[in-house]
Structures are given as structure tokens and as C-alpha cells.
């Protein structure tokens, strides 16, 4: 394990630069040369410290996701302990899951919006090694939160909850990616139209907080929406009778 001298510094600088460049241009379009160049380290340093470009990407995510996973599990632990065996409220679960992530956007030492954008953009990358990596990193947390939602919404078919978790992940992923066509069409960041003063000069920190404020109600509204009627599948009609509880 490399540790002496400034090697630690080199490692960190590579990770920081790679995080930014992968975010800006995507994995495939970012070359090792551009990374080592911007980080002002030698071209061979990446392979020495990480082994390969793929391994570098994994490490860029690992150092952030390790913290995020831990926080998400702890947040759920605390909620469940405080509830003393009773099911949690959906709003609490969403706050623990999405709020924990979105708060990373306000904290530069955790990667800030750079990491959030990178995460949102990378989650839709088709490369096999990326999909496999995320599956492993997310497995435990997703499973815990899925079960918490099952308990919180006992009258909703579990398949429906999984679908909606899927949709919520999508809304969040796309929102933090910040590549929306709306932004390009309107020529401004979402939120500039708010009539709020100096919105165009919002720092990343304020942007992250605002995003969270806007996104959480949307997600909760989607999660609690009435169930679909399944016009094409009469078999399942019975299972979806009734609606979701309106009080959460």
C-alpha cells in the first residue's frame, strides 16, 4: 500500500480531478491524459495507484459512497429505534434516503454538487462494469429501505412500491445530473424563473438546498399517488383495489 511521502496527496488530487472530469465529460470521453494533466501528476500515476481507468472510476465513487451508505443506514437505524417497532412514516424514510444524499451537495468536503452531478450522470451509463459496481455498492442500503417502505405502506402491493422507488430514484438522479433539456431550452438553471432575486448567481450549496426543498414534496406526492387500475390485466385488479392512505 502506498502511503509515504506525498503519495497520499497524489492519490487525492487524482481522485478530485477525475471526479470533476468524469462529471463534465463522462467516463468514456475522459482520457487518462486529461486527468493526469489537470492533476499535474505523471501519466503513469493512475495505473500505479489504482491499476486501471475502470478501477479509478470505482475508487472515485467508493470514497463517497462508503460515507453515504453508512449515513443512510444510520439514519434508518435511528428512525427505527425511535419508533420502537412501529412502522415509519413514508416521509421519514424518504427524508433519510434522499435528504442524506442531497445534503452531500451542500458539503464540498463530501464532493458537493460535483459528486451529485457525477452520480446522476453515471447511474445511466450502460457500461457493464459500472452497472455491476453500483449493484454491489447499493445492494444493502436499497434492501433495507425497500423493507422499511413495505412496512410503512402495508396496504400497497410491494411490486407497486418497488416501481415507485424506481421512479423516485429516477427523478432524483435526473435532477442532480443537471443535464435536463429544460435548462438548455430556457437558457437558465431551473429556479431562475422563480422571481427570486439574483437566482442566477446561486452557489452550489444554495442550489443543493433548494433542490432538496423542491424535490422532496414531489417524491412524496408520487409515492402516495392513487394506484393504477390495470386496464389490461384483469387478474390483478383485485389486488389493487382501494387507494393509498392519504395521511402520511
Q: Would you tell me which residues interact with DNA (CB under 7 A)?
A: 1-7, 9-10, 30-34, 41-49, 51-54
Site string for its own copies, 190-229 (x = CB under 8 A): xx-xxxxx-----------xx--xxxxxxxxxxxxxxxxx
Sign of CA dihedral 71, 77, 80, 83: negative
Between 2 and 242, name the residue whose CB sits nearer to DNA: 2
Let me know: does 111 contact 104? Beta carbons within 8 Å: yes
Residue 165 is a binding residue for its own copies (CB under 8 A): yes
Among 38, 55, 142, 202, binds its own copies (CB under 8 A): 142
**What is the nearest approach in angstroms of its own copies to the Cβ of residue 184?**
4
Neighbours of 84 (CB within 10 A): 6
Phi, psi of 150 (to 5 degrees): -55, -45
**Burial tier of 196 (Cβ tally within 10 Å: 0-12, 13-18, 19+):** exposed
Site string for its own copies, 2-21 (x = CB under 8 A): --------------------
For residue 203, the 8-state DSSP code is -
Between 41 and 111, name the residue whose CB sits nearer to its own copies: 111
**What is the nearest approach in angstroms of DNA to the Cβ of residue 34?**
6
Let me know: does 104 contact 110? Beta carbons within 8 Å: yes
- Binding to its own copies (CB under 8 A) within 228-247 occurs at 228-233, 235-236, 239
**What is the nearest approach in angstroms of its own copies to the Cβ of residue 111?**
17
**What is the nearest approach in angstroms of DNA to the Cβ of residue 177?**
22
What's the angle, vertex CA 95, arms to CA 204 and CA 203, rounded to 5?
A: 5
Amino acid at each position: 500500500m502506498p502511503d509515504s511521502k506525498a503519495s497520499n496527496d497524489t492519490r487525492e488530487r487524482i481522485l478530485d480531478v477525475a471526479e470533476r472530469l468524469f462529471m463534465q465529460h463522462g467516463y468514456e470521453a475522459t482520457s487518462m491524459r486529461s486527468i493526469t494533466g489537470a492533476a499535474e501528476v505523471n501519466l503513469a500515476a493512475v495505473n500505479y495507484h489504482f491499476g486501471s481507468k475502470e478501477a479509478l472510476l470505482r475508487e472515485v465513487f467508493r470514497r463517497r459512497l462508503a460515507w453515504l451508505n453508512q449515513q443512510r443506514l444510520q439514519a434508518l437505524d435511528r428512525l427505527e429505534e425511535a419508533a420502537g417497532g412501529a412502522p415509519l412514516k413514508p416521509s421519514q424514510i424518504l427524508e433519510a434516503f434522499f435528504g442524506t444524499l442531497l445534503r452531500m451537495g451542500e458539503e464540498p468536503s463530501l464532493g458537493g454538487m460535483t459528486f451529485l452531478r457525477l452520480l446522476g450522470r453515471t447511474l445511466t451509463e450502460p457500461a457493464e462494469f459500472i452497472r455491476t459496481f453500483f449493484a454491489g455498492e447499493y445492494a444493502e442500503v436499497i434492501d433495507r429501505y425497500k423493507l422499511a417502505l413495505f412496512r410503512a405502506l402495508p396496504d400497497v402491493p410491494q411490486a407497486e412500491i418497488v416501481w415507485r422507488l424506481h421512479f423516485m430514484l429516477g427523478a432524483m438522479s435526473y435532477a442532480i445530473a443537471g443535464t435536463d433539456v429544460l435548462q438548455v431550452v430556457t437558457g437558465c438553471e431551473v429556479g431562475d424563473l422563480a422571481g427570486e432575486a439574483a437566482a442566477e448567481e446561486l452557489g452550489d450549496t444554495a442550489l443543493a438546498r433548494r433542490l432538496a426543498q423542491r424535490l422532496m414534496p414531489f417524491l412524496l406526492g408520487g409515492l402516495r399517488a392513487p394506484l393504477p387500475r390495470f386496464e389490461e390485466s384483469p387478474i390483478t385488479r383485485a389486488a389493487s383495489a382501494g387507494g393509498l392512505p392519504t395521511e402520511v
